[in-house]
């Protein structure tokens, strides 16, 4: 039976994807696809998520081309063997790590940044010399349709395939044998992916989510803090894996923070965010209903308006939060922001460490010892200090989760290394071949070994 992975494996085994020239061409073609069809991609993002054009350009076009350009610039370097030292006992010899592709890679993407989260890992896999199957999310259907039409037009169909579909199609793909599976999405499906991968001992990267907390210390610059939180929270209408999920604010600065947050919302989106060109929409009626129901977990103090027809949920801030509610126990993944009061850094740290490791953690403080304490005593996939989301944008900082928020990291060099096996090779010379290493093991040799080893 012909399967996607078997067809691509035949291509991979033929050596087709190994030459750097092939990889370079595919990466250039990916950039060309995004350049030449930018308007169509942005229109699809608008249909799926009401994504503002500028936001779509930054997060789902420019971010990808930036990553690919970095791969192109370093393609040769990142695929070169690395010399490493050789221990005395193995001399004469030289040792190196030879980067080799893994084989056939499956990339499964979600709907919130549906182009970026499909193409960036796929580009990393291609730069490393792999064949790739891409599976976009069926939830962002308009974007999936555009990708399905353009990917075969621009990229080499012998080695790169895009499969559209939802649960049945992904389940069928997961039954096939891949050499690496890169999955982005929720943790429930993450477990399904990992269990399926176990059948073939396939390594996985799981880019998951969770409740990313924000700590606001009394020393924080409240004006800047509020604006940076408002930006990170309401980008893509809160449907960002690293969006601030809830706030732990020192009670001494709670009211000034709420005042500034309200002002930031009005500054960014006007008095009626529903009519703002800079504010997105909820991806589907299911997620709209989910968010409406989450809203019952606290008292709305800012926003709260909704419109089912346009799937609009206002930037919403909640107080008096019920700790047993879904609002405080599930990832919000939408524009609702619960604000909780704390009275010390210690209390914030205890709150966070009593919960699963988040994908991101944010701490706002001018007092450096507070930042130091938070960094030393909490665990998170990544951290931005005095900001939100920004650690994700650096190609020098591997992006990923830990524990419940995922495993493995990518972006920049790490996004190529992820799809390579650094094959250790020790090559010995034959001019010298001391008999010391061979039996019979005399007392003299034994004494020498004790000195040498
Ligand atoms: P989704 O519903 O689009 O699902 C993700 C992918 O899994 C899709 O391609 C879908 O077809 C597939 N899928 C769904 N159910 C499946 C099943 N039963 N079996 C096999 N495949 C299945 O997206 P989602 O899960 O709603 O995405 C949101 C989640 O993703 C949030 O938790 C968010 O935090 C997380 N996320 C993480 C990152 C990151 O980089 N760490 C980025 C974006 C989103």
Q: Encode the chain (453 residues) as per-residue pLDDT tens digits.
A: 568 889 999 999 999 999 999 999 999 999 999 999 999 999 999 999 999 999 999 999 999 999 999 999 999 999 999 999 999 888 889 999 999 999 999 999 999 999 999 999 999 999 999 999 999 999 999 999 999 999 999 999 999 999 999 999 999 999 999 999 999 999 999 999 999 999 999 999 999 999 999 999 999 999 999 999 999 999 999 999 999 999 999 999 999 999 999 999 999 999 999 999 999 999 999 999 999 999 999 999 999 999 999 999 999 999 999 999 999 999 999 999 999 999 999 999 999 999 999 999 999 999 999 999 999 999 999 999 999 999 999 999 999 999 999 999 999 999 999 999 999 999 999 988 888 779 999 999 899 888 877
Are residue 105 and residue 229 in the same domain, yes or no? no
Nearest protein CA to atom 42 of ligand 1, as residue: 241
Are residue 242 and residue 303 in the same domain, yes or no? yes
* pLDDT score recorded for residue 437: 78
Ligand 1 closest atom vs CA 406: 41
Q: Which spans in 274-361 are helix H?
A: 285-294, 345-353
* pLDDT score recorded for residue 271: 96
Are residue 117 and residue 139 in the same domain, yes or no? yes
Query: For the domain that residue 298 is a member of, what is the CATH number?
Result: 3.40.309.10
Query: 358 Cβ partners below 8 Å, 6+ apart?
Result: 210, 211, 212, 213, 245, 352, 380, 381, 405
Are residue 197 and residue 223 in the same domain, yes or no? no
Number of domains in the chain: 2
Are residue 223 and residue 236 in the same domain, yes or no? yes
Annotation marks residue 138 as catalytic: no
Under 8 Å between Cβ of 292 and 313: yes
CA of 132 to the centre of ligand 1 (A): 19
Query: For the domain that residue 135 is a member of, what is the CATH number?
Result: 3.40.605.10
CA of 334 to the centre of ligand 1 (A): 15
Q: Does residue 435 lie within any of the structural domains?
A: no
* pLDDT score recorded for residue 146: 98
d(CA 79, CA 343): 51
Nearest protein CA to atom 14 of ligand 1, as residue: 167
* pLDDT score recorded for residue 2: 64
Ligand 1 closest atom vs CA 381: 41
Q: Does residue 430 lie within any of the structural domains?
A: no
Are residue 276 and residue 181 in the same domain, yes or no? no
Nearest protein CA to atom 24 of ligand 1, as residue: 185
Annotation marks residue 241 as catalytic: yes
* pLDDT score recorded for residue 433: 87
CB environment 72-96: b (16+ within 10 A), e (fewer): bebbeebbeeeeeebeeeeeeeebb
Q: Does residue 425 lie within any of the structural domains?
A: no
Could you report the per-residue pLDDT of 233-274, keeping only the tens digit for each?
Answer: 999 999 999 999 999 999 999 999 999 999 999 999 999 999
Nearest protein CA to atom 6 of ligand 1, as residue: 110
189, 207, 330, best to mutate for ligand 1 pocket (most atoms within 8 Å of CB): 189
Structure tokens at 163: 């499969």
Pocket of ligand 1 (CB under 6 A): 108-112, 117, 135, 137-139, 166-167, 170-171, 184-186, 189, 192, 207-209, 241, 331, 333, 359, 401, 406
Are residue 228 and residue 261 in the same domain, yes or no? yes
Q: Does residue 176 lie within any of the structural domains?
A: yes
CA of 238 to the centre of ligand 1 (A): 15
Q: Does residue 420 lie within any of the structural domains?
A: no
64, 138, 186, 192, best to mutate for ligand 1 pocket (most atoms within 8 Å of CB): 186
Query: 200 Cβ partners below 8 Å, 6+ apart?
Result: 177, 178
Sheet holding 246-250, edge to edge: 299-302, 316-319, 336-342, 246-250, 213-216, 360-364, 382-385
Last residue of a domain, one of 185, 208, 231: 208
CA of 24 to the centre of ligand 1 (A): 29
Are residue 182 and residue 249 in the same domain, yes or no? no
Are residue 321 and residue 196 in the same domain, yes or no? no
d(CA 328, CA 322): 7
* pLDDT score recorded for residue 224: 98
Ligand 1 closest atom vs CA 207: 41
Ligand 1 closest atom vs CA 109: 9
CA of 301 to the centre of ligand 1 (A): 31
Q: Does residue 408 lie within any of the structural domains?
A: no
140, 147, 185, 398, best to mutate for ligand 1 pocket (most atoms within 8 Å of CB): 185
> Which residue range is the domain that position 134 belongs to?
4-81+99-208
d(CA 290, CA 284): 10
Are residue 175 and residue 118 in the same domain, yes or no? yes
Are residue 378 and residue 237 in the same domain, yes or no? yes
CA of 181 to the centre of ligand 1 (A): 13
Last residue of a domain, one of 158, 175, 208: 208
Q: Does residue 415 lie within any of the structural domains?
A: no
Q: Does residue 438 lie within any of the structural domains?
A: no
CA of 109 to the centre of ligand 1 (A): 6
Ligand 1 closest atom vs CA 405: 41
Could you report the per-residue pLDDT of 122-180, keeping only the tens digit for each?
Answer: 999 999 999 999 999 999 999 999 999 999 999 999 999 999 999 999 999 999 999 99
CA distances from 117 to 75, 208, 241, 328, 409 (A): 21, 12, 11, 27, 13
* pLDDT score recorded for residue 449: 84
H or E stretch at 419: none
One of 55, 176, 207, 260 is an active-site residue; which one? 207
Last residue of a domain, one of 400, 419, 440: 400
Cα-Cα-Cα-Cα torsion 322, 324, 329, 335, nearest 10 degrees, comes to -20
Are residue 289 and residue 230 in the same domain, yes or no? yes
CA of 110 to the centre of ligand 1 (A): 4
One of 67, 241, 260, 373 is an active-site residue; which one? 241
């Amino acid at each position: 039976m012909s399967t996607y992975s078997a067809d691509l494996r035949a291509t991979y085994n033929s050596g087709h994807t190994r030459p750097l020239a092939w990889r370079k061409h595919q990466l250039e073609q990916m950039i060309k696809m995004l350049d030449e069809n930018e308007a169509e991609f942005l229109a699809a993002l608008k249909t799926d998520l009401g994504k503002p054009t500028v936001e779509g350009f930054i997060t789902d076009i420019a971010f990808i081309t930036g990553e690919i350009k970095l791969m192109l610039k370093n393609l040769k370097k990142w695929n070169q063997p690395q010399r490493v030292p050789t221990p005395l006992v193995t001399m004469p010899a030289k040792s190196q790590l030879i980067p080799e592709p893994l084989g056939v890679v499956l990339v499964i993407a979600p709907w919130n940044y549906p182009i970026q989260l499909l193409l960036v890992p796929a580009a990393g896999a291609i730069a490393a010399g792999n064949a790739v199957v891409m599976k976009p999310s069926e939830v962002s259907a308009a974007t999936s349709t555009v990708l399905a039409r353009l990917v075969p037009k621009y990229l080499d169909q012998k080695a790169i395939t895009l499969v559209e579909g939802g649960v049945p199609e992904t389940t069928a793909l997961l039954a096939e044998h891949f050499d690496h599976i890169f999955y982005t999405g929720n943790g429930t499906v993450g477990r399904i992916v990992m269990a399926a991968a176990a059948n073939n001992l396939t390594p996985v990267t799981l880019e998951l989510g969770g409740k990313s907390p924000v700590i606001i210390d009394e020393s924080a610059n409240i004006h800047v803090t509020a604006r940076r939180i408002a930006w990170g929270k309401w980008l893509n209408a809160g449907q960002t894996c690293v969006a601030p999920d809830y706030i732990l604010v020192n009670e001494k600065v709670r009211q000034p923070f709420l005042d500034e947050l309200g002002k930031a919302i009005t500054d960014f989106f006007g008095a009626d965010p529903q009519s703002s060109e800079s504010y997105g929409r909820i991806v589907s009626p299911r997620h709209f209903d989910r968010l409406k129901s989450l809203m019952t977990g606290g008292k709305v103090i800012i926003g709260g308006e909704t419109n089912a027809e346009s799937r609009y949920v206002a930037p919403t801030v909640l107080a008096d939060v019920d700790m047993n509610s879904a609002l405080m126990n599930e990832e919000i993944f939408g524009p609702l922001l619960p604000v909780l009061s704390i009275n010390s850094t210690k209390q914030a740290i205890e709150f966070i460490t009593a919960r699963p490791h988040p994908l991101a953690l944010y701490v706002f403080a001018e007092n450096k010892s507070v930042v130091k304490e938070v960094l030393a005593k909490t665990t998170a996939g990544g951290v931005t200090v005095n900001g939100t989301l920004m650690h994700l944008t650096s190609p020098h900082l591997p992006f990923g989760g830990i524990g419940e928020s995922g495993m493995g990291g990518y972006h920049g060099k790490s996004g190529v290394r992820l799809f390579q096996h650094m094959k250790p090779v020790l090559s010995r010379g034959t001019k010298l071949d001391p008999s010391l290493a061979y039996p019979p093991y005399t007392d003299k040799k034994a004494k020498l070994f004790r000195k040498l080893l």
